[in-house]
Amino acid sequence: MVTDDELRQIMPNCPAAKRADYLPFIQQAMAEFDITSYLRETAFLAQLAHESAELRYMEEIASGAAYEGRKDLGNIQAGDGKRYKGRGPIQLTGRANYTKYGNLLGLDLVNDPIVAASKEVGFRIAGQFWKLNGLNELADQQKFKSITKRINGGYNGLDDRIKYYERARKVLSRDDAATIPMPVPRPNKPSASGAAPSYPGAAFRQGNRGAIVRMIQQRLRDLGYTLGVDGNFGPGTAKAVAAFQKKNNLGSDGVVGPGTWAALWA
């Protein structure tokens, strides 16, 4: 898995503080969406470097007004253009895409589109897009130009993308995928500092799925609640969350928001 020093060499213009802040979430997204081999990692990081200007932009500079009324993006309501402007390292754009990727990740991006620009969610969107569109398989075949077309719709910035691709291929080790960290830590007890893992940027509730749900389930089990750890936020998980909330005077809505999240690791 890519290290801080490797990321520095691939994206030398990315400030050290931002690189350190983003790296864990890049690693988690890569692990969650099977971007875990030399060929996949090099292609993914190269495209990410170009699309985000070396992690400089997590939100489109333009207002998004140009997308107003774009039915091909699902922008059918007044204000959709600005509301669903490009966000995240691959610039998720349009109501239809916010709906699609929100559903896939178990997040309400339609009602809370700004979280798509957060480090907690943005890199997961990029990873989901990568896997869903068959880019792992294209990376395995070293079809970098085809990857570019699926991301961009054409070949804009191809030379710049290739520059990063060649750089990543020189920097990354072909053996660095031998051991892959879990996409989300599963602590059995609070850390020595007493700090909770970073809040993922959106509430989790019944119907959500994925690695973060598994983390919540495992933590509840560690605290003595009876439930399965399968990554599916079903009725059993909601019941356990509500019981935990009631015990800790947090209400009992069964939704893991920032308060419940912090209390789980308090």
* Domain chopping of the chain, boundaries: 4-56+118-171, 65-114, 184-266
What residue has token string 């798509």? 116
| 159 CB-near residues (< 8 Å, 6+ apart) | none
Q: Is 257 exposed, middle or buried (0-12, 13-18, 19+ CB in 10 A)?
A: middle
What pairs with residue 204 in β-bridges?
Answer: 256
Q: Write down the pLDDT at residue 195.
A: 54
Residue 189 has pLDDT above 80, yes or no: no
- For 206, 222, 243, the CA distances from 239, given in Å and listed in that order, are 10, 16, 6
The Cα 4–Cα 9 span in angstroms is: 9
Give me the amino acid identity at 164.
Answer: Y
Output the CATH code of domain 184-266.
1.10.101.10
Lowest mean pLDDT among 90-104, 108-122, 150-164, 174-188: 174-188
* pLDDT band of 73, cuts 50, 70, 90: very high
Fold exhibited by the domain 65-114: Endochitinase; domain 2 (3.30.20)
* pLDDT band of 131, cuts 50, 70, 90: very high
Closest CA to 248 of 213, 212, 215, 223: 223
pTM of the entire predicted model: 0.68
- Strands (E) in 109-173, as ranges, are none
**Encoding tokens for residue 190?**
């609070």
Task: Please compute the mean of the pLDDT values over residues 176-191 and round it to a whole number.
Answer: 39
